[in-house]
Amino acid sequence: MLSVNLKQKLLLSIMTISVVIFLIFSFLIYRQSADAIEQNYNNMVTGNMNVCAAAFDNLMREAYFTAVDAANDETLPELLAQQKHTDIEDHLGQYLTGDIDAVYCYINGHAQLVRVTRQGTQTERCTSDKIIWVHHTADDIRNPLMPVSTVDRLGTIRKNIFAYEQPVAAPDDTRILGYVIVTVDERTAFFKCLQNRQTGSDREIYITTPEGRYASCSNLNRLGKPEEKIGENELKSSIQAPLTGYSFHSVVNRDVLTGDIRRAGSRILLFSVLLLLLSGVSIWIIVRNMLTPLQQLEEAMQQVSQGDLTIQTEVHQNDEIGRLAAGFNSMVRQLDSLIGELVTQKMLKREAEMEALQYQIQPHFIYNTLNTIKYAAILQNAKEIAQLLEAFIELMQLTARNQGTFIPLEREMHMVDNYVRLQMFRYANSFEVEYDIQPETKRCYIPNLLIQPLVENAILHGIDLKKENGRIEISAMQIGDTLAVRVRDNGRGLTPEELQKLMTGQKPSKFSGIGIGNIRERLRLYYGTRAEMRFHSENGSGTTAVITLPVSYDENEYTI
């Protein structure tokens, strides 16, 4: 796995975030600029196409009214009825004005067509294809103001035209004598309406019929064909001419519109890359200065882990890193002090052990001497003295052997029983002791010399030894995960002042030297808040001491 230190992580994170933010910001700016350019272009093109549409409508309006005037001329029906072709040609010639390309007159019943153009006039019989063209023109006219975009098949050269057709009716009835057709060349419309609005090879304006076919455009091969779909990279704007109903379209390649902004974007991108590089160098310098104290702190930690507790890192800042370094220095000093104290304690303990070895023979000498006295008492038939000596010897042996911090409750109670037997002999059996120990509690481990000081306190400060009705109750029971030990006497009780002195340890045990305050302190050290010792005492009603602590069957579970 690739190892990346903190400096590299910070640099990579900052640079990555900067690049991502820059790319997002650049994209948003580009899109907004491109949309604004397209919108402005669309507004401009729409204005141009409105001008084109107005010019086209004016051109078609001229052709439409020319056709209406010619068809409603009072002279034309008479000429058609008399079939005076020369007169018809001369009469139609007067309507060949302005941008009108040709005027046709189709005579019903005779299948004759009179054609008047700027190149001359001609009357001919209609063949089948010419008749189809004339009727096609008439059938396609739906809205009188909407011209028909078609192909003129009557001339020597076929060309695309815009045509208006009007019927010529007989003056005395509703018979249709013929049709007048006025045409405008598509090229005339293109050059007059569109040519001046074409702005380049990548931009085009064209006209389509309501059916979606090309009516006028720069590419003659498209005329009459369905309008092509624009490409994904092309922008199209459209309007409809209000009079004729024809549609005007402008198509431009988006690259033409956004080319400048893309080129500017490339320059901005290059400048931004250089700026990012400069920012990266600046960030690297800043991060290096920020992390130098951390690197020094890391080196100091490595030296401490190798055992050098004299190291101190330099603190030059008053920020979080400076406070961290100061805290590390304080921790190392405290650790050095604690280790020194621990070494001193171990040395003192070793000296005490050596001193204890020097006096180890003394307890054995005492045991042997007491055993000799015990056997002498037995020989002299003093059995009670012998039993007391045996209890005293066993009590001393138990206290000498109980070097551990925790012992089973059963061993503690055996030591208490020997102590009680000696005290009962001393005070001439002026009190009695009752035991209530649940069997399951005997294996529980408790701190050494936990109960004996309480029993001693009950004998010396609780019951009245001058009377013979003294009573002490010692009980131990398990309640869930809690062991409860109670020592109760029926003595005179303690005053609040005496109880305070007892709790503060001002009266140590005459046997073990352990006071009640010491018991409370040991419970706090070993168990914390999970153990406690309580006293209840009133003048004349005796004293009750209760100790509660966690049940444990492991000697080392709570060893410090």
336 vs 332: CA distance, rounded Å: 6
Give the model's pLDDT for residue 156: 67
Answer for the pair 518, 505: CB distance below 8 angstroms, yes or no: yes
Nearest to 188 by CA among 120, 94, 116, 101: 101
Answer for the pair 297, 325: CB distance below 8 angstroms, yes or no: yes
H or E stretch including 71?
helix 6-71
Give the model's pLDDT for residue 514: 57
128 vs 112: CA distance, rounded Å: 12
Listed in sequence order, the residues at least 6 apart from 427 whose beta carbon sits closer than 8 Å to its beta carbon are: 459, 465
164 vs 183: CA distance, rounded Å: 6
| pTM metric for this prediction | 0.47
99 vs 103: CA distance, rounded Å: 12
Give the model's pLDDT for residue 359: 45
374 vs 386: CA distance, rounded Å: 5
Encode burial over 189-222: b for 16+ CB neighbours within 10 A, e otherwise.
bbebbbeebbeeeebbbbbbbeeeebbbbeeeeb
Average pLDDT across each block of 10 residues of the chain; the chain has 560 residues. List them in order: 60 76 75 73 83 91 91 83 78 87 83 83 70 55 80 78 88 82 90 73 83 90 89 85 91 76 71 77 76 75 79 74 78 82 71 48 54 65 70 66 75 89 84 94 92 89 80 95 95 82 59 68 88 87 93 88
Give the model's pLDDT for residue 142: 64
Measured CA distances, 509 to 449, 513, 549 (Å):
10, 4, 22
